[in-house]
Structure 1
Amino acid sequence: MLPPIETIVENFEFIDDWEERYRYIIELGRMLPPADEALHAEANKVQGCASQVWLDLGLDGSGGEPRLHLRGDSDAHIVRGLVALMVALFDGQTPRKAAETDAFALYTRLGLGEHLTPQRSNGVRAMADRIHRDATRMAAEAP
């Protein structure tokens, strides 16, 4: 199970060495639940990523106010870790809060833009844009 996003940020900032930070990101990816075949549907595939990335954003209304349920996967270890960052950031948020959250700001805060390839950066932006778009739609449809 993934730690809360605040814990991930604290851990990340505690690690000085970028090789160790990469290992931590990969470890976060390993903490994602195994993906079932339904997640790998074409409709869940994120366009604009160099690696294959799948995101499924749904609503869980079992606890009162509907909350996002985000699942994700990738065929690349480091990218699966970046997906895990998105899951930790958005899973359990209300659609409105998620629509107002700047996922790319987290990416920048962690300094990932300076240490990942431009293709990976574009992939992170594509994931963030997809989640923002879906959360915005869900927030607009909410009663």
Structure 2
Amino acid sequence: MTIKEIQEEIVDEFSMFDDWMQRYEYIIELGKSLPIIDETYQVEENLIKGCQSRVWLHAEEKDGKLFFTANSDAILTKGIVAILIRVFTNQPAKEILDADMGFIDEIGLKEHLSPTRANGLVSMIKQIKMYALAFQARR
């Protein structure tokens, strides 16, 4: 699936919920389904700067596509990073760099997060794009 198709799928899923409490619960469930990051990657250099909670993000390239793993010490944040990983994992670096992030506004995520969590979300996206830029520069 393309990034756009995955984003549309997420928008559809979020539209099934009537209120934000249900959406928060869904985000938390997504976080619980996030595959555990290997402990060797849960190190200081993989911590995302700008997040109130601790978020570790690791990327590796296989066959021209990036694969991300992550973890967080906060359940809601873990769900947010799970959404981003779902969108960006198994995608080429160029597609990640070119991706429109409008789906975040479409599902209302940014406006329903505290300012510190919204900043964390921006930091997570920035880090994912930085990984993509680094991998693309190697080619």
Taking structure 2 as the reference length, the TM-score comes to 0.90
CA contact (8 A) 2:30 2:82 kept: yes
Q: Look up the equivalent residue of 1:46 and give its one-letter code.
A: I
Letter in 1 for 2:103: L
One-letter amino acid of the structure 2 residue matched with residue 40 of structure 1: Q
**In the alignment, which residue of structure 2 is the partner of 1:69?**
67
Give the letter aligned to residue 92 of structure 1: N
Indicate which of 116, 119, 122 corresponds to 2:116: 119
Contact 2:93 2:133 in 1 (8 A): yes
Contact 2:36 2:70 in 1 (8 A): no
Specify every segment of 5 or more residues in structure 1 that has no aligned partner in the other structure, as ranges: none
1:114, distance to aligned residue in structure 2 (A)? 1.6
Partner of 1:38: 40
- Aligned-residue offset at 1:5: 4.5
RMSD value, Cα = 1.3
List runs of 5+ in structure 2 lacking aligned partners. Answer: 1-5
3-state secondary structure, aligned to 1:70: strand
SS in 2 for 1:46: coil
1:46 touches 1:53 (CA, 8 Å); kept in 2?
Answer: yes
Q: How many Å apart are 1:140 and its aligned residue?
A: 2.3
For 2:77 and 2:103, the matched residues in 1 are separated by 15
The residue aligned with 1:9 is: 11
The secondary structure found in structure 2 opposite 1:133 is: helix
Matches within 5 A, 1:90-109: 90-103=88-101, 105-109=102-106
Cα deviations across residues 79-112 of structure 1 (Å, max 9, x unaligned)? 0000001101100100110111134x23222111
Separation in 2 of the partners of 1:60 and 1:39?
17
The whole-number CA distance in structure 2 between the counterparts of 1:68 and 1:108 is 24
Q: Classify the secondary structure of the residue corresponding to 1:49.
A: coil
